[in-house]
Amino acid sequence: MFPSCYSKPTSSKDLFKRTYLTKILLGVFIVYMSHTCWVIYGFVYTKPCERGKGDCISSYLAERPRLQLSIFSSLKPDHSELNLIIKIDDFDIHSKFERVVNVSLPLATRNNGTLHTLVYVHKFGVSPLQDNQQVHHVAQLSTYMMSRGNLSSAKEVLKKHAATAPPVVDRPISHWRSRLTLNMMSEDFTFNRGTLPSDVRRYMRVFQDENRMVYLPLLHIDELSVRVKDMMEINGSTTKLPLTISYEGLSLRQFRFWIYMQDVMFSLKRFGFTEVNIDEIKGVLVDNNLYLLALTTLVTAFHFIFEFLAFKNDISFWRKKKNMVGMSRKTVLWRCFSTIVILLKMLEERSSLLVLIPVGIGTTIEVWKVKKVSKIQLQWRTSRSIVHVGKFDESERKTTQHDTQAMKCLSYLVYPLSISGAIFSLVYLRYKSYYSWLINSLVSGIYAFGFLSMAPQLFINFKLKSVGHLQWNVLMYKAVNTFVNDAFACVFSTHPSHQLGCFRDEILFLLYLYQRRLYSTNKTRCREFGSCHHNHRKLKAQ
């Protein structure tokens, strides 16, 4: 009785094999979180040096010397040709201020040259060039970037430039850094020479004062506050530009934390991240407080593990899938097409390999799923390959009819809007080539109507009055990530289209949940993908 529904009970050995990868992933996640907590603990607590135990390095600021802050501009990053920008007498390291000054631009800088700033903290009334206990740092006031006109928003400016001007060859030109943020560790802390943190050691200058070691003030120029929206293009007619100089004292833990984050930004450049990508990350770091940033790190870790679990379960589901009853082939084909177009778009934009590799892997998986759902088999002979297309049974053909009917109804809405949008962009916008216009038009259509690709599956569920053929563990993992994306879209400044896309996905997921409740699992029949419940096994035994 019920011979087609019988399935062999899962042995403990098979169950161990299926959960082995999950256990490894859980272990890696625990190790990662432990390492993150250890790094955070290192920022929060640095053991001070106890008097009489070990080699102690005391602070030069403990004696409360009279200091002076002097900021110069120079064409060279050395002590030659210095031009004074601002001088602050009786500089208080615990103060907080912001001042706007006008900086004269040399002719070389106006002709696409580079201008540097040299920041000195030295003894009051003594020239910084004659003070052997001064500390200084050098930073660029001008940097080379692609010409973007008004840089209030790099992405919007690129679209505006494409719409109002013919394509030209971009060349880097000098842009003015309108903000200069200075920090100094104002905390009186005594370090142990043997356990001196490596990040602090890079900023430390030590001298011998009789029988004790003393370190000079720890000065730091904040590069994270330099945003693309604050950059100003330098032209040949500009003789002066405003510079906002701000200062704030930091504790040791704050000083170490910002040094670490600044090193991360420089590492991202080596991995191929563009200036616009790094600027978005800077916005997350600078525009939000540290507690929200710590929460972001924790949530990102969980986001990663849920994404990986969804990826792993999706592959496992399709690898074991033999019967395609209830599965929408049109949805799988649409996802495959969408990922290929997005990959081509990223290749055109020369995105970072850290972004391209995951998208490329996802595209390969989607192509493989199209092969599975279409029952295509490749057989290699001696000199050629033979393609075999499997046949569909009656239940699968019925599913295909429902799928075609749903997609036909959607085509009346999607195709006219997509084609009209593509024609509009071709007439009123300018692109580098017809290929660029085609890719951008397809990407716009995918982001606008991509969520509708899940509608045929909802229609098939409605016709079959069942949801047993769906992979609910994958849907749950992706739903959690969607809710996380919604939370981030509300907290952080993201594009309105991205926020709308997240909420649209949530609406469709809620419809899936409603269907699961409406079409509750029938305990007296098999599910579409071939497994049976324990009731069938009891009936078979009887």
**β 212-215/56-59 pair status:** parallel
Residue 23 maps to a domain = no
165-220 pLDDT, tens digit each:
444 445 678 889 889 999 999 988 999 888 888 888 888 999 888 788 899 999 99
CA separation for the pair 282, 330 (Å, rounded): 40
Residue 249 maps to a domain = yes
Q: How far is CA 418 from the centre of its chain?
A: 29
- What is the extent of the structural domain holding 80? 56-146+173-280
> What is the pLDDT averaged over residues 224-233?
84
42-52 pLDDT, tens digit each:
777 888 887 66
| Nearest residue to 59 (alpha-carbon basis) of 93, 89, 85, 82 | 93
CA separation for the pair 303, 294 (Å, rounded): 14
pLDDT at res. 405: 81
Residue 262 maps to a domain = yes
74-89 pLDDT, tens digit each:
998 887 788 999 999 9
321-330 pLDDT, tens digit each:
777 777 777 7
Supply the mean pLDDT for the chain.
76
The total number of structural domains that make up the chain: 1
DSSP character string of 363-432 = HHHHHHHHHHHTTEEEEE-SS-EEEEEPPP-HHHHHHHHHHHHHHHHHHHHHHHHHHHHHHHHHHH---S
The answer to whether 64 and 107 are in contact (CB under 8 A) is no
Residue 1 maps to a domain = no
Residue 270 maps to a domain = yes
125-164 pLDDT, tens digit each:
899 989 989 999 999 998 887 665 443 344 444 344 444 4
Where is pLDDT greater, at 209 or 303?
Answer: 209
pLDDT at res. 124: 92
Residue 207 maps to a domain = yes
Q: What is the pTM of this model?
A: 0.60
Residue 110 maps to a domain = yes
Please report, rounded to a whole number, the percentage of residues in the chain having pLDDT higher than 70.
Answer: 74
**β 240-250/179-185 pair status:** parallel
Query: Given a cut of 90, is residue 243 above it in pLDDT?
Result: yes
Residue 225 maps to a domain = yes
Position 487 confidence tier, pLDDT thresholds 50, 70, 90:
low
CA separation for the pair 212, 127 (Å, rounded): 26
23-39 pLDDT, tens digit each:
776 777 778 778 877 87
> Cα-atom radius of gyration of the chain, to the nearest Å?
31
pLDDT at res. 2: 35
* Ranges 155-164, 180-189, 428-437, 447-456: which has the least confidence: 155-164
CA separation for the pair 192, 158 (Å, rounded): 51
